[in-house]
Structure 1
Amino acid sequence: MEQAELFSLLKSAGLPVAYHHFKKPPAPPYLVCLFAYSNNFGADNGVYSKANNYQVELYTTKKDPETENLVESALDAAEIYWEKSEAYIESEELFQVLYAVEI
């Protein structure tokens, strides 16, 4: 899967999606996706298999398991393994659920 396919997949959850940031954020809930790091496998002095890790960040005004389930269901349907963490951003008054995915 490539980055463009990941974006299409995330859009299928029915939420606004942007790479890295929105110029003007929409009303929550929304998604931001960005490249985090690569985890390539090397052989014979080259990259044998590429693996790119992305952060998919869900922003909501309240803890919202239903919206989280939309994102998780989209990732599950594409058989993408994910890990999840959560934080509250006081200055923005938003919950951030971060999904770490590797494609």
Structure 2
Amino acid sequence: MTVKELAQELKTLGYDCAYDHFNTTPTLPFIAYFENERTDFIADNKVYRKQQNITIELYTEFYEPNISEQLEDLLERLGIVYDCVPFLYIEDERMYMSSYSFSL
């Protein structure tokens, strides 16, 4: 799966979705996703597998586990194994963020 294909799948959830950031303030809930460092498998002076690390951030106004479950169901349906940091409250922004990290 590519990052572009992942973006298309995320949009099927029906929430505003953008790579890295939005140019205008979106309505909650919304999703931002971005690429982190790559962790390629390298041996014998050869790259055997390119592995891109991805983070998806889900922002909600309230504690809304049903929205997180929608995202988690999508990732699981796509066969993506992820780590989740759920429902961190961002006091300055008055919203919650759940973060999902995985490799493609």
How far off is 1:46 after superposition?
A: 2.2
Equivalent AA in structure 2 for residue 44 of structure 1: D
> 1:70 and 1:22 mapped to 2: Cα distance?
22
> 2:16 and 2:99 mapped to 1: Cα distance?
16
CA RMSD of aligned residues (A): 0.9
What is the match of residue 29 of structure 2? 29
What is the match of residue 6 of structure 1? 6
> 2:96 and 2:78 mapped to 1: Cα distance?
25
**Contact 2:40 2:51 (C-alpha < 8 Å) held by counterparts:** yes
* SS of corresponding position for 1:22: coil
What is the match of residue 70 of structure 2? 70
Q: Deviations over 1:35-63 (max 9, x none)?
A: 11111101231211011111100000011
Equivalent AA in structure 2 for residue 101 of structure 1: F
What is the match of residue 102 of structure 1? 103
Q: TM-score, normalised by structure 1?
A: 0.95
How far off is 1:100 after superposition?
A: 0.4
Greater CA drift, 52-61 or 6-15: 6-15
Please, which runs of 5 or more residues in structure 1 have no aligned partner? none
Matched ranges for 1:44-63 at <5 A: 44-63=44-63
Aligned residues with identical type, % of pairs: 32
What is the match of residue 39 of structure 1? 39
Please, which runs of 5 or more residues in structure 2 have no aligned partner? none
Equivalent AA in structure 2 for residue 95 of structure 1: Y
Q: TM-score, normalised by structure 2?
A: 0.94
**Contact 1:10 1:17 (C-alpha < 8 Å) held by counterparts:** yes
